[in-house]
Amino acid sequence: MDGITQFYWLLRKGDNMNIGCLTYEYPPIGGGGSTTIHAINLELSQMGYDINVLTTGFKNIPAGEDRGNIHVKRLYCNRKQRFVASLSSMYFYALSSTHYSLKYYNDSDIIHSYFVVPSGIPGYFMKKIRKKPFVVTIFGGDIYDPTRSNLQRKIVNSIAVKKILASADVVTTISHDLVGRIKGICDVDVELIHCGVNTKKFHPGKNIFELKKELGSDTEKMQILAVGRLVERKRFDILLFAMEEVLKEYPNVMLNIIGEGPEKEKLERIIDKFGMQNNVSLIGFVNEGKLIKFYQACDIFAISSLHEGQCCTILEAMSCGKPIVATNVGGIPDSVIEGYNGLLVQPDDPQKMASALLSIIEDEYLRANMAKNSRNRCINKFDWEIIAKQTSKIYSELV
C-alpha cells in the first residue's frame, strides 16, 4: 500500500468505514460460525468500523438491532429451528438478502460474506452489479460436511461455489485443511485467518471445587465436558460409547454435554441403554456466563466430530486452561497439538477415544501441563485482537 493510499485508508478508518456483513446465521441463531462472526465484528467495531449485518430472522427475535457500531437487520426466511438451518431457509435468505442488499447496501465500502453458500450469493451480485470490493470467508460446513449428500454437494460446488469464489477479491478460511479443500474446488488464492477466542472472558477459574459446587455437580467426580449442536456431524454418540468404556475403569467420572439439536433423543436412548444416567447429563442450552463456568469447572474437554472447520468450543476450552481430547479431523489439528495441549484420535473410534480420555484421567501431571499449554497457545495465537488485526489488514488493502 503506497503512502497516498495508506493516508486515505487512515482517514476512512477514523470515519467509520462501512462493512456490509452478509451471513445467514448470526447470534442468537446458529452455532460456532455465527458466534465467531459476532466476535470478530465486536473487535472490528472497536477499531472504528461500522458493521451492517444482514441475516436471518427467527420467531420473536427483533428484526432490527443496534449493538454499538454493529447494526443488525434480520430478514424473514421461513427458518424453523434456531440452531439448524433447512435448505429452504437458506434459499429464502439467498433471494431476500440479494434483493435487500442491492437496494440498501450501496453505501458499503466492502462486502464481506460469511459462508460461501448462501451468504456469498448476495455478495456475488453486489460485486457484479454494484462493483463493491468482495470478501468471502468459509468456515467449512458450507463446502464440506461428510454427513450430507455427496451429490448435492457436487452440484452446489460445480455451480454456485465456483462462481462466488472466482468473483471474490479475497477468500479467507480458518484452517489448513479448508485451504486445501477450497483449492480443490477453485484455483484461487486463499488467506488463512483462524477463528479466535476472547482470552480475557474465557479464562481459568480460581477454584474448580467451588465451581463444581456452584453448578450443582458432584465435586468428587472428574468432569468431562463437550459442547456443540446435537447434530449428526458432531457424533456425540461416539463420545457416549467411549464413556461406557471409561466408566468400566473409573466409575467416578461425569460427562456433561451442552447443546441442543435433533440428535437429543438418540443420545438419550444410548444413555438409558448403558445405564449411564448418573454419569452423563445432557445440559441443553446455557447462556454464555454459565457456559464459561462449565469450561472452568471441567477437568477435560472432549470433541468426537466427523469434521470441524476449526471448532470454536475447543478454543474456548483451551483459553480456560483445559486439556483436549478430540478427533484428528478438519481444522482441529490447527488448534490441538498432539501431546502438547491434548490428544488426537481418529474419528468414529470409541475405543481410541476412551483410551485417550483414560490417559489424561490417569495422569495428573499430564493434565496440568496440557492445561497450561492450552492457555498459552490461545493467548499467543488465537486471541481475537490478533485475528481482528489480520482482517483489518485485508480491508485496508481493498480500499
pLDDT digits (tens, 9 = 90+) for 98-112: 999 999 999 999 999
Split at pLDDT 50, 70, 90, the class of 152 is low
Split at pLDDT 50, 70, 90, the class of 328 is very high
| 158 and 117 in a common domain | yes
Residue 5, pLDDT > 80, answer no
pLDDT of residue 15: 53
Cα–Cα distance for residue pair 171/136, rounded to 1 Å: 5
Listed range (306-310, 339-343, 356-360) with the worst mean pLDDT? 306-310
| Residue 201 is assigned to a structural domain of this protein | no
- In sign, the C-alpha dihedral spanning 213, 218, 219, 221 is negative
| 377 and 387 in a common domain | no
Split at pLDDT 50, 70, 90, the class of 79 is very high
Contact 311, 328 (CB under 8 A): no
Mean pLDDT of 253-273: 96
pLDDT of residue 362: 96
| 235 and 190 in a common domain | no
| Residue 202 is assigned to a structural domain of this protein | no
> Which pLDDT tens digit goes with each residue over 153-194?
566 656 889 999 999 999 999 999 999 999 988 899 999 999
Element (H, E) at 210: helix 208-214
| 180 and 268 in a common domain | no
Residue 335, pLDDT > 90, answer yes
CATH number, domain of 366, equals: 3.40.50.2000
| 323 and 185 in a common domain | no
C-alpha cell at position 192: 488463512
Contact 360, 343 (CB under 8 A): yes
Cα–Cα distance for residue pair 229/68, rounded to 1 Å: 29
Phi-psi region of 30 (alpha: psi -120 to 50; beta: other; left: phi over 0): left
Contact 325, 345 (CB under 8 A): yes
pTM: 0.87
Q: How many residues does the chain have?
A: 399
| 187 and 307 in a common domain | no
C-alpha cell at position 210: 467451588
The mean pLDDT of the chain is 92
| Residue 351 is assigned to a structural domain of this protein | yes
> Which pLDDT tens digit goes with each residue over 25-48?
999 998 888 999 999 999 999 999
| 162 and 19 in a common domain | yes
The whole domain housing 370 covers: 208-381
pLDDT of residue 218: 87
> Which pLDDT tens digit goes with each residue over 221-244?
999 999 999 999 999 999 999 999
| 189 and 219 in a common domain | no
DSSP 328: S
Cα–Cα distance for residue pair 371/394, rounded to 1 Å: 33
- 114 by DSSP, 3-state: which? strand
| 247 and 189 in a common domain | no
C-alpha cell at position 360: 489424561
pLDDT of residue 9: 44
Q: What is the CA radius of gyration of the chain?
A: 21
| 217 and 168 in a common domain | no
* Nearest alpha carbon to residue 319 among 174, 197, 195, 223: 197
* Nearest alpha carbon to residue 167 among 210, 209, 122: 122
DSSP 156: H
| Residue 30 is assigned to a structural domain of this protein | yes
Burial zone of 199 (CB within 10 Å; 0-12 exposed, 13-18 middle, 19+ buried): buried
Residue 71, pLDDT > 80, answer yes
Contact 55, 94 (CB under 8 A): no
C-alpha cell at position 343: 490428544
**Which range scores top for mean pLDDT: 2-16, 204-218, 329-343?**
329-343
| Residue 70 is assigned to a structural domain of this protein | yes
Residue 12, pLDDT > 60, answer no
Question: Into how many domains does the chain fold?
Answer: 2
